[in-house]
Chains A and B, each alone.
Chain A
Amino acid sequence: MVYPYIPHTDEDRKHMLKAIGVDSMDQLFDGLGEDLLLADSVPISHGRTEDEVQRMIDSIALRNVRGIPFLGCGCYDHIIPATVKALSSLPSFVTAYTPYQAEMSQGLLQAIYEFQSMVCEITGLDVANASLYDGANAAAEAASLMIGAKRKATAVLVSETLHPFTLQVLQTWAKGTDHEIRLVGEKDGVVDLSDLSSLLDESCAGLIVQSPNRYGLLEDYTDVASLLHEKGCLFAVSSDPLSLAIQKSPAEWDADIAVGDTQSLGLSLAFGGPSCGYMAVKEALLRKIPGRIVGATVDNKGRKGYTLTLQAREQHIKRERATSNVCSNQALAALMTTIHLSSLGWGGMVEAANQSYAKSHYLAYHLAQLPGITLIWDKPFWCEFPLVFSDAKRMRKFLQELRNEGIFAGVRLSALTRQAKDELVLLVAVTEKRSREELEMYLAAARRVMK
């Protein structure tokens, strides 16, 4: 009997059982005992051939409908050069383990070093790690770092204009612990920091904000860092890294921590995963940054090489020798981002960011002219903007009409906040990938409905 991906022949099994000194494979499972041993495997369906699997998947795939996605909210359809898929599919990258054995993993370690470097360049900060699960988890790690850095601090201030799902992840992080997430309210679409001073007490470790925020609006953090630093608090800014090509960088805001998701740099939509969280910090926080870090050093012959370094904190001096902790970050996804950035260069990043800016403004401007639709705030935005509809019926018709044209018009804010009051708000994302034809199709359909 030959099973998929298992090379043994009957002869092999016989030979091996003999060498082990048992009569049957069943004997190797004697230790489990009768109460636990299944007579016949688990109740899932029988195996299929490769061809059968492919057919089944093809028919499942038919139930997905692709459209022209004007959808954002943390996952964006940007242009990705062909090099990204080609090079990230190289078999040794795909099938390698975490590079603990540095001598045989130099290629991977160097690629991660390049990733770290690029994240530092883009955010303007000094040290970056090898990636985290996603942008939301990166924000939670930032909160952990802040609390760990300030004695007696238990709370982190968080802007209400963060992506609603990031807020949820932060709230889950705090649940059941003595950490606290304190929300800082929004005003006119951006975070309201007018009263920040009064919010900074002894128990507060820092502030986390996001720009572009959940509405796509760019926020102004003038004087925020100095205020926080005066009170011994840290400042973290979460950003779509592509937006940093034209928006003030976290370093330029004097932030201590930069976090976010590199999905917009080389990762496909993929129903939301895998994506790739990033974190960069100022030099002073070097020893507090979580996750894996690659460093350059030399070998026993003086040759330059790379290795995993600065291991994660532990609670106590362990009796056993410390073993490496979390290995799975998002290494291959980080590699894709590295290849993407290598292909784009800074010039390409600026170009993509500028085009996203221009095209989103073009669409927003013309949609705002239509009756029944308003661009909620007249404030700077990048790539994504919030529209409010005057009534639910016309909004439904709008979405349906665009759907008929094969266009996914936007994301309802209520889909993220789960609140009825947000049902009439539509978040529309326009990246450099949206062609002129697509934009005009959108507008033509919109005009038909909203006349």
Chain B
Amino acid sequence: MSKIVEQLRYSKDHEWVRLEGEKAYVGITDHAQHELGEIVFVELPPLGERYGKGEEISTVESVKAASAILNPIEGVVAEANEELDGSPELINEDCYEHHLYVLQSFSKEDYEALLDAKAYEAYLASL
């Protein structure tokens, strides 16, 4: 059973988003990290760049595949989680604790359009 955290929002591409004031933290869900297996490398986006919704923004690599992460809400990259540089496997350990990057000046509309926990759970069941 995939772990889902109530307060977060989710995308159909298995990313989660958490709002903290004017910042939006983005990471990948339990389903995603489980599918990938042991994560060995994370390519983080450059700071200050604006990315659209659905645009390829990062890469998460496991032994079997390098998977593109699609940005769930439009915004500007404010921070990238540099802890992942040396220890990418932190995502496997707790994917909700360890985000990939942080957006600012993001689209509230895009955020509202994301799935809530229940909807994401239902979506996972349908796969």
Contact = CB atoms under 8 A, between A and B. Distances in A.
Interface of A: 151, 287, 309-319, 321-322
A296 to B, nearest CB: 15
Interface in B81-113: none
A314 B70 contact: no
Interface of B: 13-14, 28, 32, 35-37, 41, 43, 49, 59-61, 63-70, 127
27 contacts: A151-B49, A287-B66, A310-B66, A311-B63, A311-B65, A311-B66, A312-B65, A313-B59, A313-B65, A313-B66, A313-B67, A314-B65, A314-B66, A314-B67, A315-B68, A316-B68, A316-B70, A317-B14, A317-B36, A317-B67, A317-B69, A318-B35, A319-B127, A321-B37, A322-B64, A322-B65, A322-B67
Contacts of B67: 313-314, 316-318, 322
The 10 closest A-B pairs by CB, nearest first: A322-B65, A317-B67, A322-B64, A313-B66, A311-B65, A317-B32, A314-B65, A314-B67, A319-B127, A317-B14
A287 B36 contact: no
Nearest to B67: A317
Given A309-B63, A313-B65, A322-B64, 9 more contacts: A312-B66, A313-B67, A313-B68, A316-B70, A317-B14, A317-B32, A317-B36, A317-B69, A321-B37
A362 B32 CA distance: 64
A406 to B, nearest CB: 53
B127 A287 contact: no
Q: Is the interface of A mostly helix, strand, loop or mixed?
A: loop
A424 B45 CA distance: 54
Contacts of B127: 319
Nearest to A322: B65
Contact of A287 (B35, B61, B65): B61
Contacts of A311: 63-66
A313 B63 CA distance: 12
Contact of A317 (B35, B41, B49): B35
B72 to A, nearest CB: 13
A151 B35 CA distance: 27
Given A287-B43, A287-B59, A317 B64 contact: no
A49 B1 CA distance: 60
A309 B35 CA distance: 18
B103 to A, nearest CB: 16
Contacts of A309: 63
Nearest to B46: A151
Contacts of A151: 49
Contacts of A310: 66
Contacts of A287: 41, 43, 59, 61, 66
A317 B13 contact: yes
A315 B13 CA distance: 11
B77 to A, nearest CB: 12
Contact of B64 (A313, A315, A316, A321): A321
A318 B68 contact: no
A319 B32 CA distance: 9
Nearest to B127: A319
A315 B69 CA distance: 9
B39 to A, nearest CB: 12
A151 to B, nearest CB: 8
Given A287-B59, A313-B59, A318 B43 contact: no
Contacts of B43: 287
A318 B13 contact: no
Nearest to B36: A317
A310 B40 CA distance: 10
